[in-house]
Amino acid sequence: MTTRSESTFHHPLTGADGKAIAAMRVEVAPFKGKLTGPSARGPFDDILEHTPDAEGVRYDKRVIGGVAGTWCQPTPARADATILYLHGGGYVLGSAHAYRHFAGQIAARTHTSVFVADYRLAPEHAFPAAIEDAHAAYRGLVAQGAKDVAIVGDSAGGGLALVLLSVVQAEARAGRGRPASAAVVMSPWTDLTLTGKSLDERASADPMLTKDMLAITGASYLVGHDARDSLVSPLYGNLAGLPPIQLHIGTSEILFDDARRYAERARAAGVDATIHVWEGMTHVFPASVGVLDAADQAIGLLATFLDRNWSANLKLPPDDPTRHLSVVDPEDPKLRHISMVGDTYTILLSGADTAGRYCLIDMTVPDCGGPGPHRHDFEEMFTLLEGEIEFTFRGEKRLVKAGTTVNIPANAPHFFTNISGKTSRLLCMCVPAGQDDFFLAVGKAVASRTTLVAKPSDQEMGAFIKKAAELAPRYRTELLKP
């Protein structure tokens, strides 16, 4: 029986999978710790060739973004969505051709075309060759029309996928590219400093990898470069603002802590990171499709996860009629006051009633103007600074005057109209409901609403916007018919 603890799912080992794993241990025992250099590329690829072909998937050689690889196209294939697959092999081994059947299984289950990138390998091509090629392939997929790109990878390719995820999200925040929709990684190598305790504690349980093996392949890739660089070890990167991530790890592998620690850091940064822990499973076990029930289940979970996170499939939850509009008196002594922006203005917080998500909007609205009917999957808070508006919430109208703060529940239909006869001004805050830490992270506590707040400099405002964007999760808005 699968059990769940917060965002961690534990999957038990079945009797059939236990027998299959025992047989696999015997088969791979001669290779343990020995696949460290270019001479091992043939044997490594032979192991991956055991993954059965998926029915209805066509394989073509492609060059995307200047990077060669294999295009795995299922029939039918989802339009406007693509998966970029980054293969494992310690940055020294692996190829798109060898991984084609495993990637084809993912393509078939997700009904999405998969591009397996043949990024350059060490020692011939050391850091930053791998991330440069992965990045180029991602940009190439976007350039050819992919509106949704998910990044998937295993082992070293899993770590590379997480590095790339942070890179493209940072670019998107800066307005220089398209963000990824989601990421899935299997047995990811996230820490090339090799500090995870499981490297030693699970050494005898892992039938393939050893700490020395990782040290050798890592050194071939780094060639003296700092292993703590976030472009090498995603565990040490800035994880705030990343899209949803799903991780899979077996309990019988030395990289267990690489996955666990990354998931913990991601969740601490506000990322929707879910980790699936598979009892008794070994390194990159999902590649054993048709042999392990757990492999089929893991790919099924991957497919469900991506389907839920393609932008075309994102749906807002239904409105909860038990959640009511809250209008806050600015002089309520129970309020906490957080300075955010402006000459004299402070955001008002009221604990669990606090609303909003992601962005701060200083909005001016012309007379008789205002946004049309809409709803968000986040709670929203705004304070009217100047003027008077007629606010409509679930069809009920309410007059809102200057100085009043309004908290709007998530998913509730609403709109407003400026009826003041002049331009009105309001400050709208959108961040995760009840997440006071967000406000505290980007602002500071002050004594009262009348406390003067110095207008921030351009540099301070730029830093504030950057901080808010880093802390910001993705959000959705649905426009409604009048």
Residue 287 and residue 352 in one domain: no
pLDDT confidence of 193, banded at 50, 70, 90? very high
Tell me whether residue 318 is in a domain.
no
In the chain, the number of structural domains is 2
Among 313, 334, 351, where does a domain finish?
Answer: 313
Residue 373 and residue 419 in one domain: yes
Catalytic residue among 283, 337, 376, 414: 283
Calculate helix-pair angle for 96-110, 41-48, nearest 10 degrees: 20
49 in catalytic set: no
Domain containing residue 338: CATH number: 2.60.120.10
pLDDT in tens, 413-430: 999 999 999 988 877 766
Nearest in space to 358 (alpha carbons), one of 270, 461, 296 = 270
Calpha distance 112→180 (Å, rounded)? 15
Residue 292 and residue 421 in one domain: no
Residue 342 and residue 202 in one domain: no
Q: How many CA within 13 A on the CB side of residue 478?
A: 19
Angle, alpha carbons 442-166-138 (nearest 5°): 140
Tell me whether residue 26 is in a domain.
yes
How many of the other CB atoms lie within 10 Å of CB of 103? 27
Residue 174 and residue 257 in one domain: yes
- 241: domain range? 3-313
Q: Are 395 and 470 in contact (CB under 8 A)?
A: no
Structure confidence at residue 469 (pLDDT): 55
Tell me whether residue 174 is in a domain.
yes
Residue 185 and residue 332 in one domain: no
Catalytic residue among 253, 379, 380, 470: 253
253 in catalytic set: yes
Tell me whether residue 319 is in a domain.
no
pLDDT in tens, 212-232: 999 999 999 999 999 999 999
Residue 270 and residue 365 in one domain: no
For 458, residues 6+ apart whose C-beta sits below 8 A from its C-beta are none
Domain containing residue 177: CATH number: 3.40.50.1820
Among 283, 313, 343, where does a domain finish?
Answer: 313
Beta bridge partners of 154: 186
Residue 257 and residue 343 in one domain: no
Structure confidence at residue 20 (pLDDT): 96
Residue 359 and residue 399 in one domain: yes
pLDDT in tens, 283-302: 999 999 999 999 999 999 99
Residue 386 and residue 426 in one domain: yes
pTM, entire model: 0.77
**Structure tokens that stand for 274 in this block:** 């879910």
Q: Could you give the maximum distance between any two Cα atoms of the chain, in Å?
A: 82
Residue 405, pLDDT > 80, answer: no
Distances (CA, A) of 253 to 130, 133, 289, 356: 24, 28, 18, 42
Catalytic residue among 95, 155, 233, 252: 155
Among 313, 339, 373, where does a domain finish?
Answer: 313
Residue 237 and residue 91 in one domain: yes
Q: Are 284 and 250 in contact (CB under 8 A)?
A: no
CA distance from start to end of the chain:
48
> Beta 148-154 vs 81-86: how paired, if at all?
parallel
Residue 307 and residue 389 in one domain: no
Helices (H) and strands (E) in the chain, counts: 11, 23
Q: Are 413 and 340 in contact (CB under 8 A)?
A: no
pLDDT confidence of 435, banded at 50, 70, 90? very low
Tell me whether residue 321 is in a domain.
no
Calpha distance 34→30 (Å, rounded)? 8
283 in catalytic set: yes
Calpha distance 94→153 (Å, rounded)? 12
Amino acid identity of 234?
P
pLDDT confidence of 317, banded at 50, 70, 90? confident
Tell me whether residue 320 is in a domain.
no
Q: Are 108 and 58 in contact (CB under 8 A)?
A: no
